[in-house]
Amino acid sequence: MIDEVLSELNSAVAKSQEALKRELGKLRTGRAHPGMLDSVKVDYYGSLTPISQMAAIGVPEPRLLTVKPWEKNQVQAIDKALRESNLGLNPQLDGDLIRVPVPPLSEERRKDLTKIAKKHGEDCKIAFRKARHDANDFLAKMKSDGDAGEDEIERAKKKVDEIVSSAGSLVDSSVQAKEEEILKV
């Protein structure tokens, strides 16, 4: 029973870390990568569809993305979605290919992005603390129901704290690495 609590905690921690990794991957570092466009949705026959599901995204140069729609009649819709996104991109149409130059980041924008990275890290830590709270509540319930001995519960609580603290240090190092990547000119 205690093993189930610990495995659920590990699962929650892993999911939070994956979410953090996805969020940090979306942050722009001045270098073009296809994941930058993951948040852009295009009106595709009445439903909002991610660009990656309706076009091939390429990175021919470090500061250029190319978007080649699979349906040529969607070029205008994708161009409009890119212009209306809050990514600060200015796409250029070239026949049925859309070239998206990635402008260099200003110092102010870099600092804003580091704040966003820190916020994502803190959100992840909040998820860890919630998972720890849930695990400790479940362990306390097991103790009050007499399902496990007091020593077992104390060992399990220490293990819960170890899991959460090690996950927290991994989050700190991930956020620190992303900040360095963002601030590197």
- Residues 18-54 have pLDDT tens digits of 988 888 877 766 677 787 887 788 888 888 888 888 8
Three-state SS string over 40-66 comes to CEEEECCEEEEHHHCEEEEEEECCEEE
pLDDT averaged over every residue in the chain = 87
* CB neighbour list of residue 83: distance below 8 Å, 6 or more residues apart: 89, 90, 91
pLDDT band at 174 (very low <50, low <70, confident <90, very high): very high
pLDDT band at 121 (very low <50, low <70, confident <90, very high): very high
Q: Which domains does the chain have, with CATH numbers?
A: 2-26+106-183 (1.10.132.20), 34-101 (3.30.1360.40)
- Residues 64-88 have pLDDT tens digits of 889 999 988 888 888 888 888 877 7
